[in-house]
């Protein structure tokens, strides 16, 4: 169907801002709903909230544990969450400070038997988490209680999750090499997607809500179509040397972006299944990427201690 389409121009993104502030590996980044602010978490034991337009630090939040693996920004911009090898999810109110002047801890969500690999806010009062104990949990932040606890959600660590545009479903990726689609209205697994030969490190919903992209340790990215319940595309880099840690989709869904162990972000044209170029600049593994909701920028973070805003 897409064979007659013209080739998309090469994606020409350059580093608009180089965000310096972390002094150890940066493991995770996530945009706020305002397309301007982003939060990063690093093994230096800090969360930093950045103004990605100016490059300024808005807030530095010291963590009780430096082993942060995942961060999340509420779409409202009011809260950030993080977790990792401390086996819990900590939620901070960015508009309120404690006696030390740091963002106030709203909740420390405990009870995990494995590391916290992923977290996403459904709204200001609800958060979804995935963890190394194969669980998916939904928490009521006002009550500080789990409302949903899905045990054995995968046959291995739950590594990544992505919410659908309508917030009714979410997709998870796991070290069990599968992706699963879950319905938040009845908290059940609706579909299982196979194909990857190694850990699925990242999943990202397509903006149309009918597909999702993945990034895997097997050195491929894939596109799965939800309605036809199958893989519809396989994306491989020209030199298949490194696994993918993270993935994102452009505003239209035309381009898939994958952060790699080879220090670059690979881009493919999803209509043509063609490799469309790379974003080069980081000097170590790219651990995480986040595309702003308006599609105007992508922010990446790396083991090189830097955060880059591309546009």
Provide the pLDDT for residue 6.
Answer: 77
pLDDT of residue 58: 98
Q: What is the pLDDT of residue 1?
A: 58
Residues 120, 138: Cα–Cα separation, whole Å: 10
pLDDT tens by residue, 229-267: 999 999 999 988 999 999 999 999 999 999 999 999 999
Percentage of the chain lying above the pLDDT 70 cut = 99
Model confidence at 2: pLDDT above 70: no
Calpha distance 92→205 (Å, rounded): 26
Q: Degrees (nearest 5) of the Cα angle 129, 214, 170? A: 40
* Residue-level pLDDT at 3: 64
pLDDT at 208: 98
The structural domains of the chain, with segments of one domain joined by +, span 12-153+281-310, 164-279
C-beta of residue 232 within 8 angstroms of C-beta of residue 211 = yes
How many Å is the maximal CA-CA distance in the chain? 63
**285-300 pLDDT, tens digit each:** 999 999 999 999 999 9
Query: What is the C-alpha to C-alpha distance for residues 289 and 247, in angstroms, rounded to an integer?
Result: 7
- CA distances from residue 39 to 26, 28, 31, 61, 111 in whole angstroms, order as listed: 11, 8, 7, 10, 25
Q: Do domains 12-153+281-310 and 164-279 have the same CATH topology?
A: yes
The pLDDT tens digits of the residues spanning 93-150 come to: 999 999 999 999 999 999 999 999 999 999 999 999 999 999 999 999 999 999 999 9
b/e code 254-292 from CB counts within 10 Å (16+ = b): bbbbbbbbbbbbbbbbbbbeeebbbbebbeebbbbbbbb
Q: Tell me the per-residue pLDDT of 173-215, one tens digit each, with 9 for 90 and over.
A: 999 999 999 999 999 999 999 999 999 999 999 999 999 999 9
Mean pLDDT (the chain, rounded): 97
Distances, alpha carbon 24 to alpha carbons 61, 296, 306, in Å = 15, 28, 9
Q: Is the pTM of this model over 0.95?
A: yes
What pLDDT shows up at residue 52?
Answer: 99
Residues paired with 126 in a beta bridge: 123, 140
Q: Residue 29: which residues within 8 A CB-CB, separation 6 or more?
A: 38, 39, 40, 41, 71, 288, 289, 290, 299, 300, 301, 307
Q: Are 238 and 274 in contact (CB under 8 A)?
A: no
Q: In terms of Cα–Cα distance, which of 34, 71, 76 is closest to 53? A: 34
Query: Which residue's entry shows tokens 């669980």?
Result: 135
**For residue 11, pLDDT beyond 90:** no
Give the CATH H-level superfamily of domain 164-279.
YVTN repeat-like/Quinoprotein amine dehydrogenase (2.130.10.10)
Confidence (pLDDT) at 5? 74
CA 196 to the chain's CA centroid? 18
Q: What is the pLDDT of residue 175?
A: 99
> Is the confidence at residue 33, as pLDDT, over 90?
yes
Q: Which fold has domain 12-153+281-310?
A: Methylamine Dehydrogenase; Chain H (2.130.10)
């Amino acid at each position: 169907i897409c064979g007659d389409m013209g080739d998309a121009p090469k994606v020409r993104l350059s580093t608009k801002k180089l965000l310096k502030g972390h002094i150890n590996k940066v493991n995770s980044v996530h945009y706020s709903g305002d397309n301007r602010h982003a939060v990063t978490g690093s093994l230096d034991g800090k969360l930093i909230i950045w103004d990605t337009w100016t490059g300024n630090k808005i807030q530095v939040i010291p963590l009780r544990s430096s082993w942060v693996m995942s961060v999340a920004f509420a779409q409202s911009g009011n809260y950030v969450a993080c977790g990792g090898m401390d086996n819990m999810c900590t939620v901070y109110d960015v508009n309120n400070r404690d006696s030390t002047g740091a963002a106030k801890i709203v909740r420390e969500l405990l009870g995990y038997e494995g590391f916290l690999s992923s977290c996403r806010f459904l709204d200001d009062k609800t958060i979804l988490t995935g963890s190394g104990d194969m669980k998916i949990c939904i928490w009521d932040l006002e009550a500080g209680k789990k409302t949903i606890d899905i045990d054995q959600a995968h046959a291995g660590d739950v590594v990544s999750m992505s919410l659908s545009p309508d917030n009714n479903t979410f997709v998870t990726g796991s070290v069990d090499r599968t992706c699963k689609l879950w319905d938040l209205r009845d908290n059940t697994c609706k579909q299982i997607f196979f194909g990857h030969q190694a850990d699925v490190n990242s999943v990202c919903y397509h903006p149309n809500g009918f597909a999702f992209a993945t990034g895997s340790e097997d050195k491929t990215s894939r596109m799965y179509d939800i309605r036809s319940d199958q893989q519809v595309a396989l994306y491989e880099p020209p030199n298949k040397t490194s696994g993918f840690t993270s993935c994102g989709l452009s505003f239209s869904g035309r381009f898939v972006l994958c952060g790699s162990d080879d220090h670059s972000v690979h881009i493919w044209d999803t209509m043509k299944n063609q490799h469309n170029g790379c974003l080069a600049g980081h000097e170590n593994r790219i651990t995480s990427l986040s595309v702003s909701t308006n599609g105007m920028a992508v922010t990446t973070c790396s083991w090189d201690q830097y955060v880059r805003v591309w546009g």
